[in-house]
Amino acid sequence: MPLITSETVRDDFNDIAAVLHYTRAAHFLGLWESERLLIERYFTDRSAPLLEAGCGAGRVTLGLWHLGYTNLTAFDFAEELLDQARSLATERAADAIRFLCADATRLVEYHLLQRLAEYGDRFGGAACPQDASSTTVPNQRVADNALHLCHSIVQDSVSDISAGAGFAGVLFMFNGLMQIPGRENRRAALRGLHSVARPGAPLLFTTHDRNSSLLERSHWRAEAARWECGDQDPRLVEFGDRYFEDQNGRTFMHLPDRTEILEDLAATGWRHEFDALRRELAQESAAVRDFSDECRFWVAR
């Protein structure tokens, strides 16, 4: 049985059950109280350029818009979810939001391709990012759209990145980072987000936590024994992975412990600033608790 890949995850997010699930949340659930609290604490300039990775059907993106954040770029690699996000933005007169199709694990690659294109334009060469991406990025539509994303990010010369370029803040909400299979791929996403953010820019994201409850700790002790014996689900990439199916479709999720995330942040240029379990931040509504299990919020710079 083949291991779960990013293509598996993309297909699952484009499945009709998942599209309906996330679209309902975007239309009717909106921001959680814990999300709103941290967004307003760490993203104080509502006119500053913000980037949301893994925006899905636009639940958080439109929530930001309704809080008064006006300079938003959001991307996802699931085209069906992006179509729903664009539709919702049009419905709510938020057409100024830029929605793009891109893969978070390839942002550094897109950045370099954009630099190559700028180099060709500046010196009259024939550098062509589409030619380069056709051999390095399997999904051409994702690559082409990501080049537009990079165009909004990179406004520097070939030799220097201006201190003023890049996004003033980055978000990767609802455990989106943890739905990337493979630790090195998750680190690639963190490096990519680092490469498009200004110095000192905050990154806000969430994860599950293997140690968040007695039930979780019990589950992962049993799972560790299965991995020790080689009896784990053969589709899983590494310890901490889960892959399950319910009425909302199939879901891949990596559940880290706190040490793993601290190591990943340090390895990818981010400085840890804050983390807390959701229950420590706010008392969420029943609708939010039904939508999402307990999670840990993280802020890094």
CATH of the domain at 126: 3.40.50.150
Rounded CA gap, 47 and 270, in Å?
23
- Chain segment 250-283, per-residue pLDDT in tens: 999 999 999 999 999 999 999 999 999 999 999 9
- Chain segment 48-106, per-residue pLDDT in tens: 999 999 999 999 999 999 999 999 999 999 999 999 999 999 999 999 999 999 999 99
Percent of the chain with pLDDT over 90: 79
Domain assignment present for residue 298? The answer is: no
Q: What's the pLDDT band for 112 if we cut at 50, 70, 90?
A: low
Which DSSP symbol is given to 23?
H
According to the model, what pLDDT value does residue 132 have?
Answer: 34
For residues 118 and 209, which has the higher predicted lDDT (pLDDT)?
Answer: 209
Domain assignment present for residue 254? The answer is: no
Q: What's the pLDDT band for 117 if we cut at 50, 70, 90?
A: low
Does residue 34 carry a pLDDT above 80? Answer: yes
3 state DSSP class of 129: helix
Does residue 1 carry a pLDDT above 90? Answer: no
Domain assignment present for residue 164? The answer is: yes
According to the model, what pLDDT value does residue 127 have?
Answer: 36
Domain assignment present for residue 223? The answer is: no
The pLDDT of 239-252, averaged and rounded, is: 95
3 state DSSP class of 266: helix
Cα angle at 250 between 139 and 281, to 5 degrees? Answer: 100
For residues 42 and 124, which has the higher predicted lDDT (pLDDT)?
Answer: 42
Got the DSSP string for 71-97? -EEEEES-HHHHHHHHHHHHHTT-TTS
- 214 φ/ψ sector (left φ>0, alpha ψ -120 to 50, else beta): alpha
The pLDDT of 195-207, averaged and rounded, is: 96
Average pLDDT score, the chain? 87
* Beta-strand runs (E) in the chain: 50-53, 72-76, 98-101, 169-172, 203-207, 241-246, 249-254, 272-277, 296-300
Domain assignment present for residue 134? The answer is: yes
For residues 141 and 298, which has the higher predicted lDDT (pLDDT)?
Answer: 298
According to the model, what pLDDT value does residue 128 have?
Answer: 34
| Cβ–Cβ < 8 Å for 241, 4 | yes
- Chain segment 121-162, per-residue pLDDT in tens: 544 443 333 333 333 444 556 655 655 565 555 433 222 333
According to the model, what pLDDT value does residue 108 have?
Answer: 80
Domain assignment present for residue 85? The answer is: yes
Domain assignment present for residue 1? The answer is: no
Rounded CA gap, 14 and 40, in Å?
31
Domain count, the chain: 1
According to the model, what pLDDT value does residue 240 have?
Answer: 97
**Distance between alpha carbon 227 and the CA centroid of its chain, in Å?**
28
Domain assignment present for residue 296? The answer is: no
According to the model, what pLDDT value does residue 107 have?
Answer: 87
Supply the range of the domain harboring residue 71: 6-210+259-271
Which residue type, as a one-letter code, is found at position 175?
N
